[in-house]
Structure 1
Amino acid sequence: MTGVLRESPPAESSLQRRAHAARASATGRKDAQGKDAHIPPPEYPFTHAQLVAALPADCFERNHWVALGQVVQTTATSGALLWLLTWAPVAALPLVYIALGFSLYGYLAIGHECAHGSFTRWPLLNKALGSVTMLAGFMPFENWRQAHFLHHRWTAHEDLEEYFTYSRVSTPVLTAIRWMLRWLSPIGLFLMHFLYLCGLRGKNGKLSTDSLFYNPEMNNSLSLVNFAMVIVQWSALAAGFYHAPAATLKFAFVPLCACGAANLMIGYMQHRDETGELVAFDATAWTKLRGALQTVDRSFWPFDFMLHGAARYHVCHHLFPTMPHYNAPKAMAALADILGPHYHNDGSTAFIKYHPSLNHSHLVAGDGVLRFYRADG
């Protein structure tokens, strides 16, 4: 743990410097920051097919030894941190739990790859492994997989985005949610993660009730099997609390909550920023390529090595969802110059940008292109 915390933040790479220089030379992206911002939708000097053609030939090849190594790494790191809990002083427990949450997120990263079919070439193994690893976030794999595909299908669409939705008006409920995320983190992050699983969606100042645990549109046998696995998980936790409440809380429930908090923070910071460069689109301006490029690559130092690169290269993932995440660095090195100012890449650790992003990304306004603005701005 000490060795992790003493690492230095990563130096800005040449890939990041090229992206920043290209963005600095672009015009019109920062001219309007308020509620009356009206900007034309971005036009790209490339197509998705041209991006595919620019990729190295082996970017979509799976390496099962790398995949196996990631399972071993996550298991070893999480096991070591759980062992650390047995003798760490009380004052150090919050740091250990934070590190453990990000380590357990490694299982969610593996389950995420399984959902996209990019972890192994065997669909049945992907489903089996994904069903187990997603329990680290209390998530039924098949239900989450189908909802996740909706997120990829409609990224940054005002009305159809599945995960991080957009609101034009503020309400007391949305204000309370922002307050909870700001001042109760990481507890607030886990509560929002859990409420999302139970069906909370905020859009246009209202809450919807689509549940990831049960949705009639996903009511097939595999969804029910995954739902049953989560029920068994909660039942095991309940039995643990009955027989050994202190140990269950310390070694099971709190670590799983920390994993859920890490999951929400990582996802949020991949789709929101503190500068106003990321936008959303209404139905008149949205295209799949425009939506995919409204994501940002971020460092989550000092925990990047625990996340298998799945969190670090999110732009590449939205452009090519079936590419194994360990091939994303090679892909982005080839694409950075082509994407130019349309590539969002922040090399500083996301932890120092979390609160500024919450401050900025309150509501949206505009026609076609939707810009973020503060509720009190």
Structure 2
Amino acid sequence: MAYWWFQGLIFTGLWVIGHECGHGAFSEDKRLCDAIGFIIHSLLWTPYFSWRISHHRHHMNHASMEKDEVYTPKTREDLGIPSCAEKIDWDENFGDTPIYTLYMLLRQQLFAFEAYLLWNVSGQKSYPEGTNHFNPSSILFDPSQRTAVIISNIGLLCTTTLVCYLSSRFGFLTVVKFYGIPWVLVTHWFVMITYLHHTDPKLPHYRQSMWNFQRGAAATIDRDFLGWQGRFFLHDVAHFHVIHHFFPRMSWYNGEEATRYLRNAIGEYYQRSEKPAFQALWDNYNFCQFVDNEGDMVFYRDKKGKTIMEYTK
């Protein structure tokens, strides 16, 4: 168990290095960034170039209801919930038992990233059915980017070949023990980190009439994620995430110092939570259900339609 815990964190830290490479924050040499990022992400079952393309658009459109690539909130209309003026049976919409809620949360933690890559689950709702990160002709990519998508797919094919060889050489269960389970934990940690970055009752989402880059960049939250282990193994990816949205090409090791200046600059618009990460995951998963169909700035509502934040002009 201890091996799986720490190897999962180490693998996740490597994934974060690949993420930094995708932003060009690892080195000034773009080719070096892409080479390292491609190798690391391929070995961790992530299509590096395909993910990098959509991830850049996420940063350029963060917290936009119309254009953000991922973690776009569901609306009342998406869930079939009537307007505020009508009588609503909230238990009919959200009357799940805690056991079922836990099951759904575990499903998210273990499969959400793969579902996003394969089927655009939690992605931009305006994309057509069948959108994915593996089809070079997907709406996610311009024609000039299709070669990069194919290279990403080849990287995953090479990893598949390597895993099959190691399984035949050392045994399937041995590969699962030393590689498979830690990789599953990478998915868990990565989904948990990104979900908590972008899903919180205090964080706004904007419609296009009000959205701009600065507002979108500030619509995320820093967290004390796993204490020293999060800082050491995960390279401060959760501790200093707000600054990353303002300056995505800034290297992670400058995050703490830069955050002090950013916090002074944006004041009350800077968000940080000291709530323990697993408690925040459970609380936010239960609270953050949907946003209103209308409004220039919207906040999550809970299972009773209540919100802790309201935008008033």
Normalised by the length of structure 2, the TM-score is: 0.81
Matched, 1:320 2:241: no
Which residue of 1 is the match for residue 279 of structure 2?
Answer: 352
Quote the Cα distance in structure 1 between the aligned partners of 2:195 and 2:162: 30
Structure 2 residues without counterparts, runs of 5 or longer? 81-92, 306-313
How far 1:242 moved relative to its partner? 5.0
Structure 2 distance, partners of 1:160, 1:270, is 18
Q: Distance in 2 between matches of 1:342 and 1:151?
A: 20
Distance 1:187 1:351 in 2: 15
**Aligned partner of 1:193 among 113, 126, 137:** 113
Q: Distance in 2 between matches of 1:182 and 1:347?
A: 23
After superposing the two structures, state which structure 1 stretch, 256-265 or 95-104, moved more: 95-104
Decide whether aligned partners of structure 1 residues 184 and 170 sit closer, same or farther in structure 2, where only a CA change above 3 A counts: closer
**How many residues are paired up?**
279
> Within 1, Cα distance between the matches of 2:115 and 2:70?
12
- CA contact under 8 A between 2:13 and 2:234: conserved in structure 1? yes
CA spacing shift, 1:153–1:189, aligned 2, 3 Å: same
| Percent of residue pairs bearing the same amino acid type | 23
Q: CA offsets per residue over residues 94-138 of structure 1, 9 Å max, x none? A: x54233222211111111111111111111111100001113541
Q: Which residue of 2 aligns with 1:170?
A: 79
Gap change, CA 1:188 and 1:326, over 3 Å in 2: same
The two structures, once aligned, show a CA RMSD in angstroms of 2.7
Task: Give yes or no for the alignment of 1:214 onto 2:135.
Answer: yes
Q: For residue 197 of structure 1, what is the amino acid of its counterpart?
A: L
Identify if the C-alpha distance between structure 1 residues 349 and 375 changes in structure 2 by more than 3 Å, giving closer, same or farther: closer
Cα deviation digits, residues 280-314 of structure 1 (max 9, x gap): 01122111111111100011114211011122111
1:288 aligned partner: 213
**What is the correspondence of 1:54-203 to structure 2 with a 5 Å cutoff?**
93=1, 96-168=3-75, 169-170=78-79, 182-183=102-103, 188-202=108-122
Call closer, same or farther: CA 1:104–1:252 in 2, change over 3 Å.
same
Superposed CA deviations along residues 125-155 of structure 1, whole A, max 9, x for unmatched, are 1110000111354111111110100100110
Change (3 A) 1:132 1:199: same
Question: Given that residues 237 and 253 in structure 1 are in contact (C-alpha distance below 8 angstroms), is that contact kept between their aligned partners in structure 2?
Answer: no
- 1:7-46 CA-to-partner distances (Å, cap 9, x unmatched) read xxxxxxxxxxxxxxxxxxxxxxxxxxxxxxxxxxxxxxxx
Instruction: Please tell me whether residue 373 in structure 1 is matched to residue 301 in structure 2.
Output: yes
Answer whether contact 2:136 2:149 (CA < 8 A) is retained.
no
Query: What code does the residue aligned with 2:299 have?
Result: R
* Residue pair 2:218, 2:270 contacting (<8 A) in 1 also: yes
Q: Which has the higher contact order (CA 8 A, sep 6+)?
A: 1
Judge conservation of contact 1:310–1:325 (CA < 8 Å) in 2.
yes
215 and 166 in structure 1: CA distance in 2 versus 1, 3 angstrom threshold: farther
Secondary structure class of the residue paired with 1:235: helix
* 1:208 to 1:301, Cα distance in 2 relative to 1, 3 A: same
**Contact residue 266 and residue 311 of structure 1 kept, 8 A:** yes
User: Deviation of residue 208 (structure 1)?
Assistant: 4.2
Q: Structure 1: any 5+ residue segments left out of the alignment? A: 1-92
Q: Is the 1:109–1:307 contact (alpha carbons within 8 Å) kept by the matching residues of 2?
A: yes
Over 3 Å counting, the alpha-carbon distance change for 1:207 and 1:98 in structure 2 is farther
The structure-2 alpha-carbon separation of the partners of 1:318 and 1:205, relative to structure 1 and needing over 3 Å to count, comes to: closer
